[in-house]
Amino acid sequence: MAIARFPSIVLDCPDPRALATFYGALLDWEVDTANFDASDGWIDVRSDYGQCLSFQGVEDYRAPIWPGQDVPQQMHLDVVVDDLDAAEAAVIELGATKHEFQPGTSFRVMLDPAGHPFCLCTS
């Protein structure tokens, strides 16, 4: 029997609602604005099949500096896409940026609006 279930990944950020909106659009998940309370700085995005990402506001948030370790990335998300070029253009339109360092050809390293690295992957 499991000790715990894995309901969510939580990302620290300076603006939880803005980052939830970004990932909600990226994944086509619903942003749970009904339960958002700006005073506690916490918001979720949920898939229709149960997965969840949560975002927590941090007052003195410092974006990771990747690939260096002065401010380590601590974690990152890999998302699978059908077409790297199309996905890159779409996430840039949502507010992401492409990192200048691209160590591979089967994925693209992007930064979300709060500076967290995430990868668009073909498989």
* Predicted confidence band of residue 7 (pLDDT cuts 50, 70, 90): low
Query: What backbone phi and psi angles, to 5 degrees, belong to 114?
Result: -95, 0
| Whether pLDDT at 19 is above 90 | yes
The mean of the pLDDT values for the chain is 89
pLDDT number for residue 68: 87
| Whether pLDDT at 4 is above 60 | no
**AA letter at 33:** T
Q: In the chain, how many domains are there?
A: 2
Query: What backbone phi and psi angles, to 5 degrees, belong to 44?
Result: -120, 155
pLDDT number for residue 3: 61
Tokens (6 digits) for 40: 């506690």
Q: Are residues 14 and 51 both part of a single domain? A: yes
Write out the DSSP string of 45-75.
EE-TTS-EEEEEE-TT-----SSSSSS----
pTM (global) more than 0.75: yes
Q: Is residue 40 part of a domain?
A: yes
pLDDT number for residue 10: 87
Q: Is residue 98 part of a domain?
A: yes
Geometric angle at alpha carbon 43, from 66 and 45, rounded to 5°? 80
| Whether pLDDT at 111 is above 90 | yes
pLDDT number for residue 2: 62
Domain that holds residue 24: 9-57
Q: What's the average model confidence in pLDDT over 76-91?
A: 92
Q: Are residues 50 and 88 both part of a single domain? A: no
Q: Are residues 81 and 112 both part of a single domain? A: yes
CATH of the domain at 33: 3.30.720.120
Q: Is residue 65 part of a domain?
A: no
Q: What's the average model confidence in pLDDT over 87-114?
A: 94
Q: Is residue 1 part of a domain?
A: no
